[in-house]
Structure 1
Amino acid sequence: MQKEAARSKRGKVSHSLWRNYDDLNEYFWSKKCFKKLGWPMDPTADFFAEPTRAKNETEQHGHVIRRRRASKTNFVEVRTFLHMFRSFDRMWAFFILGFQAMVIIAWSPSGSLSSIFEPNVFKNVLTIFITAAFLNFLQATLELILNWKAWKSLECSQRIRYILKFAVAVAWLIILPTTYSSSIQNPTGLVKFLSNWIQNLQNESIYNYAVALYMLPNIFSALFFMFLPIRRALERSNSRIIRFLLWWTQPKLYVARGMYEDTCSLLKYTTFWILLLICKLAFSYYVEIAPLVEPTRIIMSLERPPYEWHEFFPNLRHNLGVVVTVWAPIVMVYFMDTQIWYAIFSTICGGVYGAFSRLGEIRTLGMLRSRFEAIPRAFGKKLVPDHGSHLKGDEEDKNPPFDKFADIWNAFINSLREEDLLNNREKDLLVVPSSGGQTSVFQWPPFLLASKIPIALDMAKSVKKKDDELMKRIKQDPYTEYAVIECYDTLLDILYSIIVVQSDKKVVDRIRESIKDSIHRKSLVKEFRLDELPQLSAKFDKLLNLLKEYDENDPVNRNTHIANLLQDIMEIITQDIMKNGKGILKDEGQKQQLFAKLNLDSLKHVAWREKCIRLQLLLTTKESAIYVPTNLEARRRITFFANSLFMRMPRAPPVRSMMSFSVLTPYFKEEVLFSPEDLHRKNEDGISILFYLRKIYPDEFRNFLQRIDFEVKDEEELKDKMDEICNWASYRGQTLTRTVRGMMYYRKALEIQCLQDMTDPAKVDRDRSIGSYQELQYDIEMAQAIADIKFTYVVSCQVYG
């Protein structure tokens, strides 16, 4: 084997002169292997024999090796440009025959397509079958020539098939011209040919019978092509007659027997090509061929002028050299413009099909914001199994799975953050809170609600007369309404969580009931001074800062500050905002100060702090988040994710019921991770890989430093984080590293989806931290095991380095 591999000379020798792995493998599984090699293996067998050497090479050894070794066992491909004609023989034949027919029709006296019904024109058009027989002969000859080197390895039935096809092609090449020449004196027309086919068989030309017999196999093929069930049943049949016919029409290596598209897809595909070819042939006839007929006649009728220079075709009559020169570009364009028509039709059909399939509905972040409310519904219809429920479409639209969508969306956003495509602020603006509060609306990502609360406060300040006007302005933008309701519900949830004393809760209850009654009576503008709301918002901002940064080591001091802020907030609400709220804080039986005793244990939970962070973002973010995220790759992935949910695709089954799949990534020789030396090695221009990547991805490098919580004061300090930097650079400079990470997202997605499948939709507990499944009560190990069963990823390398 080593000697055989050396004969290739590193792949420079023709592939037909040495045996490769495929030849050895095919030889091993053949009957010859045990007959000649035997067992134990005979090393003197002819497969391992060296080829016959030249005389001058072997005389020095005193003998000449005359024994021939076994030839290549598999198909020996002849590499030639003729494969272009052999592989697409039907296309070339169709265009040649179509060109011949159009030239004959255009050359007729009338020059119109209706002239085909004239007897003489129709008889001339029938000559295309003689051309078809000649092309079939060329195709059969090419089959013999291109398979000649593999002739010895072919089975006897395959050799007979090639010989018979060649013989039949030769027979038709003789029969059709002979019968046509004998029927020249007996012209016939299309109408007569069709109407008198049965009644006047004896009067018909024998050429017509020959054409009908020649076309009979093609007619049957067309019928079987139209009726796929019959074709599928025939190809799966074991009848000897049918197997013989298939042996004649299909090569032995044909692997698509009985595997066809459905009838609807076939009709659409056929209609596409029929319309394309009609337009192509009509354009070729009316624009390319017909306009040249009259000039060609004039050129052929002209007398040959005396040439002062050398005459290239001195013996050609009718100025045929000029005619060929004129027609050559037209013929070339005729054969090549099909790809132009294909580009036009594929663009039109692809655009129409994409529009009906809802591909690319969301192209910008602005469109994403306007359609984001429909994304959870689309997610529920495509990626959430029905679990045997029979909900109608309207019921699904009214009850979309917001909780499951929040999990998937947050996992997607977290993956973008892990890839450093987002910074911390952008991540906080994009995630959906998985800490489920007592809000009456779904908590949308903050990037949709950013600046909505400051805008609503400005609206409240400007409205002085009616509640309807204020409600109309707020409801103009649905996200403004969502933001107002969520802020109100979240503030009440926070207050009820930290207040312990019942009398303090009664104060909050009275304020809440007063607001509720005024909204019900539509007297909110009259009973409240809404222009004081910005002052209240500033106080809540300070309160949320204290709650976020709560220090367990100094609880007394923090409790005092929080209690003071709560007292100020209640005074602002009852005295400055409410016109009739001064009596709310008066309690004759109250002996201690308001909010003196608070329960701040909930601040230890991450989910509760996330709630405070989100509320503060809604209250304080005044600039619009229209440019979030700023990274172009992050924008592309987000819009692609949203678009994928609107595509036409079947509903996802549970992960347990899905078919398993595998992904293979082959590579020859490639470094997987950059080493520190690779990153700092400079090229001839003095530029290192790390310097280049930092200039190409400056925002991602800043996000990376923010993720690892590292501030760069000096370039020397980066050496302490070289392990993380090598990973960051490899994910951007090494194709294999990026590919492996991207493929492994399949497993992560299956794991999350499996966890959701094991969750009862009616008993979803959303009180958990963002992206964390550690607090769930599900069997995470089971989900991981199922994901491992359903997805396998193989990285196959040939040279380890």
Structure 2
Amino acid sequence: MNQDNYIEEAFKMRNLLEELLKSRRGDRKPTILGVREHIFTGSVSSLGWFKSNQETSFATIGQRILASLLRVRFHYGHPDVFDRIFHLTRGGISKASKIINLSEDIFSGFNSTLRGGFVTHHEYIQVGKGCDVGMNQISQFEVKLANGNGEQTLSRDVYRLGRLFDFYRMLSFYFTTVGFYFSSMVTVLTVYVFLYGRLYLILSGLERAVLEDPSIHQSKALEAALATQSIFQLGLLLVLPMVMEIGLERGFRTALGDFIIMQLQLASVFFTFQLGTKAHYFGRTILHGGAKYRATGRGFVVFHAKFADNYRFYSRSHFVKGLELMVLLIVYQVYGSAYRSSNLYLFVTFSMWFLGASWLFAPFIFNPSGFEWQKTVDDWTEWRRWMGNRGGIGIQPDRSWESWWDSEQEHLIYTDIRGRVLEILLACRFLIYQYGIVYHLHIAHRNKTLRVYGLSWLVLATVLLVLKMVSIGRRRFGTNFQLMFRIFKGLLFLGFVSAMTVLFLVCGLTISDVFASALCFLPTGWAFVLIGQACKPLLKYIGFWYSIKELAWAYEYVMGILIISPIVILSLFPFVSEFQTRLLFNQAFSRGLQISMILAAKKEKAS
């Protein structure tokens, strides 16, 4: 299992192997015997420290409880000793499928348990293990685990184990395997349901009517109850097993001190970000399947990740969702503050602001040299070049936005009609903005006829028509007549802006109304993109696929600018980069590691 070993631990192997000869629970002998790990990469960076503590808690106190009390321990890639004869005569060590059995290690434990084996855990020895120390490496590892748990949920092995276990062992099995990821997904979905429910209350006017009702005007019981829940939504409960493990190993005073230091090093931001990784990829695998192996490398490297790389990796899983949460919270605050008198609003929604901000900026906070001015300029230049390159046959996703965009839709190619319908239904949530803002926020001067709502759709149809003309012009003039194509785009843009200006003036809209119109049209346009991706064969047939692609490119470009703008501003101040380096490598500084040599390792190797 790619483990390190020590000579003094090797002398204990005889005692360890004797455990395979002891009968337990009748005549059953252990078929998988687990030992503990020693994570030695915790001193490299703060991320390595977080990950090593998390892995240590799962590989020691977690394995003890799974084996001795709950009796639902399997195999998790940890240093386990297998009874070779037992497994070879019962179908082998692992499964053969590289998709369904992506987490092939745990399926060996499933096979052992289903075929009458017994899995135990004894800490005779410990072996060394190096965990991932970079943000992207850790995220790829979490993606692989989330995809693997999604495929486990769909597998017949989990179904059979659930049917054969008794009730209490079945619950233990569920909550220690796929149930943890399902709970993470439900936690994120609950945030969406809460915010969209409050958004509907605002746009429909129901919340204002309730709060202005004299009979309940002084009642704060409901908001106070909601406020108490926000304390438990920060992801701090995920740190509890880690604190217990450190307390058992080195004392609870040390555990409390480490917990405080981890919070000062933004451990909550890291674990909240990983919560989004688990929820997104687990949900996508359940909905569409298509899990694949992702090589993390496990290398002892800490280097600066380019903005384009972070954008490609986290765009769909975190950035889009983070911006959606931010827009929801902004709309909820702006259009509800006029009549909301309670001071508990910020406390109720603080965890959601924290969730959105973590999803948007955690990859850059934990990115070495992420706020150095020259690296920021280089990242911006490379990202613009990547956005401008056209795709095609043989063009890799890291070379062109178009190739990357096509590769991001691979899960929709092989999905069934159920997956496509659910994608369309989920995308329809963005239409709530348009309906509510057009009808209920004075854009139409309290006019609620169908004509007003139809006018908003006319504007959106005009946008799609303009994009259709741009896509036609790009295909006909984009290669050989660059100047003509740019003039054509400029004239189209001026004509569209002029038409929209005249429309706003005729309707008598103010600046705030224009801002509200943008808030309603932008989410609706993104809904068009998502629905268009789900209906790609149909749109290709009727000739509107390239218009959807142009619309998606515009949204991606604006999203990239919004995300990189705070990074550019912070890069103007040199002390921000110094503070970030100290934040990331405080453990290494305290142990005398040469951080400059670590950061320069990749550059020297390339030269």
Superposition TM-score, scaled by structure 2 size: 0.19
**Structure index of larger Rg:** 1
* Bigger RCO of structures 1 and 2 (CA < 8 A, at least 6 apart): 2
The structure with the greater share of residues assigned to helix is 2
